[in-house]
């Protein structure tokens, strides 16, 4: 008999967790430009609560984390939506308009990833680090409960591995939050003349664990991207553009990296993503055909529950409904504005952009999440490409004038927000489906659960945004109900708003994006040549991500990938049988999963403290410039890595 899976209590519990995590994520995203993935913390909380219920199962716990995972993804809409307040178009966030943007885009994200499931999950070797980690956590929880089909001894060893990783990761994160140990170090330095480079190293056990899970190929690709950015692009650009008089050397170098090097990465990501999509065309079409066949088999009562998606008529119906809703939202948005006379033209641009652009971006984000994880996936880079594309098309169709420019900027942000909601959910959905595949879940039930999560998140985001707007305001926004001493910087929304204004105003610097496209083409050619020579592939998309993301988000991933490859090679050579080698490799996966769990759980707790106490560092015990902090952080991380891998090597040889 199949265990209970899609239950009312599971959906309700997931929605409650989703609501809390969404509020925390919205605040953090506006404060520092980052959000935390909520799948694994939700899985842990779910197991703790449902363990008291006799008939709960691993599949029901998986549904809870699927619903709650929408919090870590849909909340990324704040990378775009606050732009409408920052550019002065909105004074606050209209509830229904804002909620329906999230709902329409989010449900489209679920629908678009259904035909991608077989191509990117079922028949793919993408690592999906967070999806694998969540599955391992759920399996360990199920095993320790003594569920049927589990080995109690192996489950206890697995639980120990996860706990060791969790405690280590959370412990370092807590010490970093006290500022006794620095969370990261960084700076810029002179190379020769005016040329500059820099370094940013985060002492993050979660990123290290993600590196262990993604593997050597992705790790080396991200290392290649880091070298292109920091050893080539930044020195060359700063040597060509000396710091203006009165501007500090480090400030100038940071500005060049932020406004030029990152755009080179965005251009490379665009080319690599389009190439990846072209290669995926056949498996995606095959996946769509298989989805239709699976739906028919299910209706005939002969289908496999673990390979069944939402039925074709429902996919078409929900997609059409969301597109119609998007069109209606666009009409409502331009009514009474200086561009109202162009309503038909604007809607004819917006609808295909949401439909076609949304699908392409969903595929790009889903692939990136499978490559390096949902937390590390550079969705803001996709947002950059989306706003530039949307604004460019609008400018070509409707020649901007002084009265219409602000309205065109606002409309570009509005349409991009719908597409971005689609992208963020796709970024998470395939990760969840990977978890479900590993634990034997029903894809259809997970897709229903994610729609519930989207609805819960859409209802929460507008009031939270209004609360924060009234309490703090956004830096640079002209329409503030109150002017706070320290308004929220909303860095990603500020950047995307500036890009929209640059495109519509005709003063955007296209050079860096153009250079990035050339780099992307070169990376694709090199990778294809390596493939023909049967050498280790260097995924171009991962290289682009390495260029685009700050070094603090990639350095620990690279180190984790190298150390993880060394560990797997050593234990494989020392193992007497394939079973022993597999056990050793699984220990590594479980410890790496624990590393992600610990830091994620503390991230949730710390976010709650930040919001409640209105403090950037609520448990700080030392000043931000505490001198020994970097040494304590670095030595602490090295010591934990050495201790964990020594334990794994001893267990593997036992």
593 falls in which pLDDT band (50, 70, 90)? confident
| Cα gap 449→210, rounded to integer Å | 26
Helix (H, G, I), strand (E, B) or coil at 299: helix
Q: How far is CA 64 from the centre of its chain?
A: 19
pTM of the model: 0.74
Cβ–Cβ < 8 Å for 431, 125 = no
171 falls in which pLDDT band (50, 70, 90)? very high
For the segment 488-515, the average pLDDT, to the nearest whole number, is 79
Which one has a higher pLDDT value, 641 or 272?
Answer: 641
Q: Is residue 265's pLDDT more than 80?
A: yes
What are phi and psi for residue 188, nearest 5 degrees? -120, 150
Closest-CA residue to 125 (of 402, 395, 434)? 434
H helices within 506-624, ranges in order?
A: 511-532, 540-548, 551-574, 578-613
Closest-CA residue to 390 (of 432, 370, 434, 420)? 420
In the structure encoding, which two tokens stand for residue 192, read together? 């020769």
Q: Which residues contact 603 (CB under 8 A, 6 or more apart)?
A: 36, 41, 173
Q: Is residue 497's pLDDT more than 90?
A: no
| Alpha-carbon distances of 343 from 102, 337, 347, 456, 497, rounded to whole Å | 22, 10, 6, 31, 22
| Cα gap 206→485, rounded to integer Å | 34
| Alpha-carbon distances of 420 from 21, 182, 412, 455, rounded to whole Å | 19, 33, 12, 16
What's the mean per-residue pLDDT of the chain?
80
Pick from 197-201, 376-380, 574-578, 649-653 the range whose average pLDDT is largest: 197-201
Which one has a higher pLDDT value, 490 or 358?
Answer: 358
In the structure encoding, which two tokens stand for residue 85, read together? 């307040």
The packing angle between helices 129-144 and 578-613, to 10°, is 100
Q: Which class for 220: exposed (0-12), middle (13-18), buried (19 or more C-beta within 10 A)?
A: buried
Q: Which of 598-602, 621-625, 643-647 has the lowest mean pLDDT?
A: 598-602
Length reported for the chain: 654
Provide the pLDDT for residue 482: 47
289-337 pLDDT tens trace:
665 565 555 555 555 556 677 877 888 899 999 999 999 999 998 888 8
Q: Is residue 562's pLDDT more than 90?
A: yes
86 falls in which pLDDT band (50, 70, 90)? confident
Give the whole-number percent of the chain exceeding pLDDT 90. Answer: 14
For the segment 418-436, the average pLDDT, to the nearest whole number, is 83
Cβ–Cβ < 8 Å for 594, 161 = yes
CA atoms within 13 A on the CB side of 191: 17
| Cα gap 496→381, rounded to integer Å | 10
Spell out where 407-526 has E strands: none
| Cα gap 255→257, rounded to integer Å | 5
Q: Is residue 175's pLDDT more than 90?
A: yes
Provide the pLDDT for residue 483: 45
| Cα gap 82→5, rounded to integer Å | 37
Which one has a higher pLDDT value, 539 or 180?
Answer: 180
| Cα gap 123→283, rounded to integer Å | 9
Provide the pLDDT for residue 85: 86
């Amino acid at each position: 008999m199949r265990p209970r899976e899609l239950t009312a209590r599971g959906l309700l519990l997931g929605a409650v967790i989703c609501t809390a995590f969404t509020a925390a994520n919205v605040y953090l995203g506006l404060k520092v430009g980052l959000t935390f993935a909520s799948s694994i913390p939700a899985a842990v909380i779910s197991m703790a609560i449902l363990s008291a219920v006799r008939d709960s199962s691993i599949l029901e716990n998986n549904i809870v984390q699927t619903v709650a995972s929408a919090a870590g993804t849909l909340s990324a809409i704040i990378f775009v939506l606050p732009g409408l307040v920052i550019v002065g178009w909105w004074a606050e966030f209209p509830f229904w308009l804002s909620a329906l943007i999230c709902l329409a885009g989010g449900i489209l994200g679920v629908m678009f990833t259904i035909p991608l499931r077989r191509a990117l999950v079922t028949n793919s070797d993408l690592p999906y680090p967070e999806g694998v980690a969540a599955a391992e956590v759920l399996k360990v929880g199920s095993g320790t409960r003594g569920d049927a089909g589990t080995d109690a001894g192996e489950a206890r060893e697995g639980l120990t591995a996860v706990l060791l990783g969790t405690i280590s990761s959370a412990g370092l994160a807590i010490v970093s939050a006290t500022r006794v140990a620095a969370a990261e170090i960084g700076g810029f330095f002179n190379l020769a003349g005016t040329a500059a480079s820099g370094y940013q190293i985060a002492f993050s056990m979660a990123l290290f664990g993600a590196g262990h899970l993604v593997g050597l190929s992705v790790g080396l690709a991200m290392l290649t991207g880091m070298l292109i950015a920091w050893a080539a692009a930044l020195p060359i650009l700063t040597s060509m553009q000396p710091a203006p008089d009165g501007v500090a050397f480090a400030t100038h170098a940071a500005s060049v990296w932020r406004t030029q090097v990152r755009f080179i990465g965005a251009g490379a990501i665009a080319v690599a993503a389009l190439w990846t999509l072209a290669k995926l065309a056949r498996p995606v079409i095959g996946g769509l055909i298989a989805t239709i066949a699976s739906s028919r088999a299910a209706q005939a009562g002969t289908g496999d529950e673990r390979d069944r998606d939402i039925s074709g008529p429902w996919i078409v119906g929900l997609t059409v409904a969301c597109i119609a809703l998007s069109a209606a939202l666009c009409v409502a948005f331009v009514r009474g504005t200086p561009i109202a006379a162009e309503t038909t033209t604007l809607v004819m641009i917006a609808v295909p952009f949401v439909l076609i652009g949304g699908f392409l971006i969903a595929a790009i984000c889903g692939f990136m999440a499978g490559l390096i994880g949902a937390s590390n996936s550079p969705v803001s880079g996709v947002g950059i490409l989306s706003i530039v594309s949307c604004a460019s098309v609008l400018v070509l169709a409707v020649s901007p004038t002084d009265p219409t420019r602000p309205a065109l900027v606002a409309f570009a942000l509005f349409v991009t927000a719908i597409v971005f909601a689609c992208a963020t959910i796709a970024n998470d959905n395939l990760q969840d489906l990977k978890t479900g595949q590993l634990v034997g879940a029903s894809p259809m039930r997970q897709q229903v659960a994610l729609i519930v999560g989207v609805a819960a998140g859409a209802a929460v985001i507008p009031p939270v945004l209004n609360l924060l707007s009234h309490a703090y305001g956004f830096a640079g926004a002209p329409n503030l109900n109150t002017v706070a001493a320290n308004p929220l910087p909303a860095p990603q929304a500020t950047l995307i708003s500036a890009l929209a204004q640059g495109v519509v105003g005709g003063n955007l610097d296209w050079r860096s994006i153009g250079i990035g496209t050339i780099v992307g083409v070169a990376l694709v050619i090199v990778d294809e040549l390596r493939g023909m020579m049967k050498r280790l592939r260097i995924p171009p998309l991962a290289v682009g991500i390495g260029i685009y993301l700050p070094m603090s988000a990639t350095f620990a991933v690279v180190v984790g990938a190298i150390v993880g490859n060394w560990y797997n090679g050593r234990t494989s050579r020392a193992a007497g049988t394939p079973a022993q080698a597999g056990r050793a490799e699984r220990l590594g996966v479980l410890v790496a999963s624990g590393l992600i769990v610990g830091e994620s759980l503390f991230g949730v707790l710390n976010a709650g403290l930040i919001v409640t106490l209105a403090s950037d560092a609520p448990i700080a015990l030392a000043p931000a410039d505490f001198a020994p902090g970097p040494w304590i952080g670095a030595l602490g991380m090295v010591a934990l890595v050495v201790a964990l891998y020594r334990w794994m090597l001893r267990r593997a040889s036992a």
